């Protein structure tokens, strides 16, 4: 065991209960000073709760904590911040209408009256010192996520933080910005800050962390373990528990597509869209997807992937070009007509576009059926409830009853509800947009498995992801988008260098 004065943070028997549910149970852990510690676990393992307890946002129902060998009362953010503990949230906690300077000021600084100029100048200095490239007069809502994150980290470092917790910082970042974040984290370590990273992806853990701590079901499975000498398999075994290897092993199975190649499910011919506020316009994109084929879309976010989805779904105005589904021209069809022809979408934002969080599960689930019926068709709640119940059971969704609000499900379960709705027998073309974003390995594996199964059943799948590893694993073919154009098409074996170069528009 390490000497206690080398530990910046220790806690003993921390328990957090929400009603009858234990979010954390008897967690005792100590973090060594000046290192990068990773905390991993599946969704619902209590990682975020743990981070919030440490930051003083949640008062534990039992247990004690010490920071720098001083006891810290639970549930007191001010005390925690005074002790040098700062938390950077997963969905950033910055008021969107504030300017960067205001967002810095409201949580720190003095209570004095300021002028806009002096405030701007004061915080710009701080941002420059940390090499955060942002103007302090910009509004939070206008910043890309990675900049928001950098701002929040800068905010956390105002008060000379000694102990910084980042709650799933990579969940919202693209691979390139993740690397930048890691560079920043390493710099922080150099300057003597102890960093805790709550992470999802094992690769990232092994990339950056000095030690790893594993939570499972609210319990501590592994207290800080030196990262040297552990590999992916071992780590995932700890995270998932039993039969982890089995799950992971499936990830490369069956990536050969069935021999019987059929006609194109989707045939897009020189499609151009009219530019609007939501993203890059498509510029002369032609693309076919055969039945029983998974086409992966790679590209840095914001290069037209979203617009492609919206174009196929009739949610953007076309300039020219045609879209055929199963040989039928559907360029002029409405979204609902397209759906009834077999188009299915697993959308980018599962809680906003995919589900109505304030509606029940059965309503969310049966909407597919009603969307394909006339406007004034009757709703049959009793039937729908039963159908939904058996439908969701088949997909192994964890829920208490079908009248439960969709918003009460965890990320993985919410995604499963969408999958079970969108991947029915009539699905011809499935668009899976970032289907695994923010999911833990168990749920991710489930999504991959389902997509493969749909492929084997003859659906064509358009798979969009910002995670290249994932795209490589699952796709039969990869296309690359850059500034609204299709700039490359690759068949296996995939070469990460070629695809990476295509993504940034570099010539090899």
Partner 1 sequence: MEEMIIAILRSATPLIYVTLAGVIAQRAGIWHLGLEGLMIVGACGTILGIVLTGSVLYALLLACLFCILGSIIFWFVVEKLKANQIIAGLGLTGLGLGGTTLAVEAIFGTPAAVNAKFGLPKIGEVFGNIFGAFSGLSILVLLMPFVVFGMWVLICRTRLGLQITASGEHPFAARSVGVNPSRMRFIALMIGGVLCALGGAELAAGSLQIFAQNMTAGRGFMSFAAVVFGASHPIGAMLAASFFAIVGALGIRAQLLFGEDVPHDLLLGLPYIATIFGIWFSAKMRGGAKAVTGFGELRDQ
Interface mask (CB under 8 A) for partner 1, residues 448-487, using x and -? ----------------------------------------
Nearest approach in angstroms of CB 95 to partner 1 is 4
Would you count residue 57 as binding partner 1 (CB under 8 A)?
yes
Q: Does 112 bind partner 1 (CB under 8 A)?
A: yes
The Cα–Cα gap between 468 and 170 comes to 14
According to CB under 8 A, which one of 61, 64, 107, 255 is a site residue for partner 1? 107
Q: Could you give the residue ranges of the DSSP H alpha helices within 44-115?
A: 47-55, 77-82, 100-107
CA 366 to chain centre: 26
**How many whole angstroms separate alpha carbon 167 and alpha carbon 175?**
17
Residue 95 sits in the site that holds partner 1 (CB under 8 A): yes
Length of the chain in terms of residues written: 508
Segment interacting with partner 1, rule: CB under 8 A, options 292-300, 348-356, 434-442, 492-500: 348-356
b (16+ CB within 10 A) / e for 276-309: eeebbbbbebebbbbbbbbbbbbbbbebbbbbbb
Q: How far from 347 is each of 219, 341, 475, CA to CA, in Å?
A: 33, 18, 18
Which residue's CB is nearer to partner 1, number 112 or number 133? 112
CB of 129 to partner 1, least distance (A): 20
**Under 8 Å between Cβ of 16 and 45:** no
Based on the shown chain and the rule CB under 8 A, indicate whether residue 105 belongs to the binding site for partner 1: yes
Q: Which is nearer to partner 1, 272 or 357 (CB)?
A: 357
- Binding part of the chain for partner 1, among 19-27, 37-45, 110-118, 179-187 by CB under 8 A, reads 110-118
Question: Which bin fits 483, alpha (ψ -120 to 50), beta or left (φ > 0)?
Answer: left
CB 49, CB 90: distance < 8 Å: no
Binding to partner 1 (CB under 8 A) within 75-94 occurs at: 76-78, 80-81, 87, 89, 91, 93-94
CB of 108 to partner 1, least distance (A): 7
Main-chain phi, psi angles of 209, to 5 degrees: -80, 150
Q: Which of these, 36, 40, 39, 41, lies nearest to 210 by C-alpha position? A: 36
C-beta of 384: minimal distance to partner 1 in Å?
25
Report the residue number, 86 or 476, with the smaller CB distance to partner 1: 86
Nearer to partner 1, 89 or 338 (CB): 89
CA dist., res. 449 & res. 437, Å (int): 15
Does residue 73 bind partner 1 (CB under 8 A)? no
User: In this complex, which beta carbon is closest to partner 1, that of residue 149 or of residue 236?
Assistant: 149
Closer to partner 1 at the Cβ: 96 or 254? 96
**Which H/E stretch holds residue 322?**
strand 318-325
Among 44, 46, 56, 488, the residue binding partner 1 under the rule CB under 8 A is 56
Question: Which position among 61, 68, 98, 405 is part of the footprint of partner 1 (CB under 8 A)?
Answer: 98
62 makes contact with partner 1 (CB under 8 A): no
User: Exposure string (b/e) for 12-45, b if CB count within 10 Å is 16 or more?
Assistant: eebbbeeeeebbbbebebbbbbbbbbbbbbbbbb
The residue from 109, 217, 442, 505 that contacts partner 1 (CB under 8 A) is 109
**Cβ–Cβ < 8 Å for 26, 50:** no
Q: Is 24 in the site for partner 1 (CB under 8 A)?
A: no
Nearer of residues 20 and 113 to partner 1, judged by Cβ: 113
Burial status of residue 499 (CB atoms within 10 A of its CB: 0-12, 13-18, 19 or more): buried
Binding flag, residue 407, partner 1 (CB under 8 A)? yes
Residue indicated by tokens 């000498």: 229
Task: State yes or no: residue 102 binds partner 1 (CB under 8 A).
Answer: yes
Tell whether residue 342 is a contact of partner 1 (CB under 8 A): no
Question: Binding of partner 1 at residue 157 (CB under 8 A)?
Answer: no
CA distance 501 to 508: 7
Q: Which of 349, 396, 426, 456 binds partner 1 (CB under 8 A)?
A: 349
* Least distance in angstroms from the C-beta of 151 to partner 1: 12
111 lies in the binding site for partner 1 (CB under 8 A)? yes
Site string for partner 1, 203-242 (x = CB under 8 A): ----------------------------------------
Please say whether the dihedral angle defined by the alpha carbons of residues 290, 293, 298 and 304, taken in this order, is positive or negative: positive
Residue 343 sits at φ, ψ, to 5 deg, of -85, 135
Contact between 121 and partner 1 (CB under 8 A)? no
* Triad 25, 216, 169: Cα angle to 5°: 105
Q: Which residues contact 187 (CB under 8 A, 6 or more apart)?
A: none
Contact flag: residue 359 with partner 1 (CB under 8 A): no
Total residues contacting partner 1 (rule CB under 8 A)?
35
Q: Which residue has the tokens 């800050």?
A: 193
Q: Is 110 in the site for partner 1 (CB under 8 A)?
A: yes
For 187, other C-beta atoms within 10 Å of its C-beta total 12
The nearest distance, CB 306 to partner 1, in angstroms, is: 14
Residue 115 interacting with partner 1 (CB under 8 A): yes
Residues that bind partner 1 (CB under 8 A): 55-57, 76-78, 80-81, 87, 89, 91, 93-98, 102, 105-116, 349, 351-352, 357, 407
């Amino acid at each position: 065991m390490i000497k206690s004065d080398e530990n910046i943070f220790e806690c003993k028997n921390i328990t957090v209960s929400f009603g009858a549910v234990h979010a954390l149970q008897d967690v005792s852990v100590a973090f060594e000073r000046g290192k990068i510690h990773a905390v991993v676990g599946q969704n619902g393992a209590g990682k975020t709760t743990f981070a919030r307890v440490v930051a003083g946002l949640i008062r534990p129902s039992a247990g004690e904590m010490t920071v720098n060998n001083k006891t810290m009362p639970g549930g007191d953010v001010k005390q925690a911040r005074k002790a040098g503990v700062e938390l950077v949230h997963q969905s950033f906690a910055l008021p969107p209408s504030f300017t960067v300077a205001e967002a810095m000021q409201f949580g720190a600084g003095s209570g004095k009256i300021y002028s806009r100029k002096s405030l701007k100048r004061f915080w710009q200095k701080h941002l420059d010192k940390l090499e955060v490239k942002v103007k302090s007069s910009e509004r939070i809502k206008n910043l890309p996520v990675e900049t928001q994150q950098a701002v929040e980290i800068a905010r956390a470092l105002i008060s000379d933080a000694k102990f910084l917790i980042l709650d799933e910082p990579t969940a919202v970042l693209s691979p390139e910005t993740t690397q930048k974040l890691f560079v920043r984290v390493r710099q922080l370590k150099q300057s003597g800050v102890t960093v805790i990273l709550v992470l999802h992806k094992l690769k990232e853990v092994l990339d950056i962390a000095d030690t790893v701590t594993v939570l499972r079901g609210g319990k501590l499975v592994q207290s800080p373990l030196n990262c040297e000498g552990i590999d992916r398999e071992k780590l995932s075994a700890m995270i998932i528990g039993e039969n982890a290897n089995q799950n992971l092993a499936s990830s490369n199975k069956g990536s050969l597509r069935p021999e019987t190649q059929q006609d194109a499910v989707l045939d897009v011919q020189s499609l151009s869209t009219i530019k609007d506020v939501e993203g890059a316009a498509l510029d002369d994109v032609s693309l076919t997807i055969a039945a029983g084929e998974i086409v992966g879309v790679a590209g840095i976010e914001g290069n037209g992937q979203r617009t492609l989805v919206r174009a196929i779904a009739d949610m953007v105005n076309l300039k020219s070009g045609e879209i055929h589904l199963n040989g039928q021209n559907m360029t002029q069809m409405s979204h609902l007509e397209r759906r009834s022809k077999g188009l299915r979408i697993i959308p980018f934002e599962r809680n906003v576009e995919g589900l109505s969080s304030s509606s029940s599960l059965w309503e969310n689930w049966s909407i597919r059926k009603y969307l394909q019926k006339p406007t004034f068709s009757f709703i049959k709640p009793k039937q729908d409830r039963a159908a939904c119940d058996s439908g969701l059971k088949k997909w192994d969704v964890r829920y208490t009853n079908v009248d439960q609000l969709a918003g009460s499900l965890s990320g993985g379960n919410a995604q499963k509800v969408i999958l079970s709705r969108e991947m029915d027998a009539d699905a011809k073309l499935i668009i899976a947009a970032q289907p695994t974003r923010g999911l833990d390995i168990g749920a991710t594996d489930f999504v991959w498995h389902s997509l493969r199964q749909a492929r084997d059943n003859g659906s064509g799948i358009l798979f969009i992801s910002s995670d290249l590893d994932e795209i490589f694993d699952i796709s039969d073919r990869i296309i690359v988008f850059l500034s609204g154009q299709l700039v490359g098409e690759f068949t296996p074996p995939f070469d990460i260098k070629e695809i990476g170069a295509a993504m940034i528009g570099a010539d090899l």
